[in-house]
Structure 1
Amino acid sequence: MPAPLPEPRRGSVRERRGRGPRGPAFLPGPLTPAGVPADRSRRERFDRIVGSVAAELEQRWGEHLGGAQFAVEETPWLPDDWASDVVPLAALAPATPTTPTRIVLFRRPLEHRADGPVDLAALVHAVLVEQIAELLGVPVEEIDPRYGDD
């Protein structure tokens, strides 16, 4: 009778000490100092999109924004008696004596409406333009003349 087969190995050799994935596909290197883009989480990718769009708009409108902060939340908090079928994509929180004005983008609803990374970046741009226009009390076309061109 032949000897029984050994149990199959579970997990990777690298994982046995809990250090996570290793190697050029995951770690920063000379060609990828910030790491490999595929290694970033959805939250990190979304934050990068918001950061780049906000920086572009802040460069042009920064002196009018009065130190407004940009923030990202996963989902909006909706009261139990919320009756609308529409979930907000962003919120504008006016300044108080202790906090500056905040423009908050809601990641999950925005990602849900986008068809891909390019569409998500365009949607984030459109939502930020709308929020800045509301904050400044000007038409969205004044913030970005390309708004609405599809």
Structure 2
Amino acid sequence: MGSNRIRRRDRRGRGLRGPLLPATLPAAASRAEQFDALVVEVLEPIEARWSSKLANLDVAVDEVPDVRGEPDDEGLLLDGLVPLSRLVPVGVDRHGVPTRARIVVYRRPLEARAKDPEELAELVREVLVEQIAGYLGVDPDDVE
């Protein structure tokens, strides 16, 4: 077998490895993709109710908070010392470009606190309700 030849099978002759599950099944999604879908699912009823007031708000998911970021804790929703999310107000970025208000939800700290998927969904809902209430300037009970 020449070295210029492309190998089409693995060295034990079992064939090429592929995905274990078809991409159309929910279990084929990565944990990050599942978390993103959960945030969208939790956010939909809130957005439906407050659509006009949330039109200029973005929601983003990040893996972990940037601990080297700004020293202020304004807008942070903390669990002890670990941020679970952050409300970033309207402003200007470091390049002078205007930015929209956004809520950043931190996936890994939230997943670490949940024992099961139902608890994670409830925790994500609580975090989003708290941050949206802060953005709107209303009581969290009013958001729901």
Band the TM-score falls in, shorter-chain normalisation = 0.7 to 0.9
Which of the residues 8, 15, 24 maps onto 1:13?
A: 15
Secondary structure in 2 aligned to 1:104?
strand
* Percent of aligned pairs sharing the same letter: 43
> 5+ residue gaps in structure 1?
1-8, 29-34, 145-150
> 5+ residue gaps in structure 2?
1-10, 73-77, 93-97
RMSD: 2.3
Q: How far apart are the structure 1 equivalents of 2:50 and 2:119?
A: 23
1:37-82 deviations in Å (ceiling 9; x for gaps): 2111100100000011112211111211242001000000113989
Aligned residue number for residue 86 of structure 2:
91
Higher-Rg structure is 1
When residues 96 and 26 of structure 1 are mapped into structure 2, their CA distance, relative to the original with a 3 A threshold, is same
Q: Which deviates further from its counterpart, 71-80 or 115-124?
A: 71-80
Q: How far apart are the structure 1 equivalents of 2:13 and 2:118?
A: 36
Secondary structure in 1 aligned to 2:52?
helix
Instruction: Calculate the TM-score normalised by the size of structure 2.
Output: 0.76
Higher strand share: 2
4+ runs deviating over 3 angstroms: 9-12, 79-82
Q: How far apart are the structure 2 equivalents of 1:75 and 1:91?
A: 11
Deviation at 1:10, TM superposition (A): 4.1
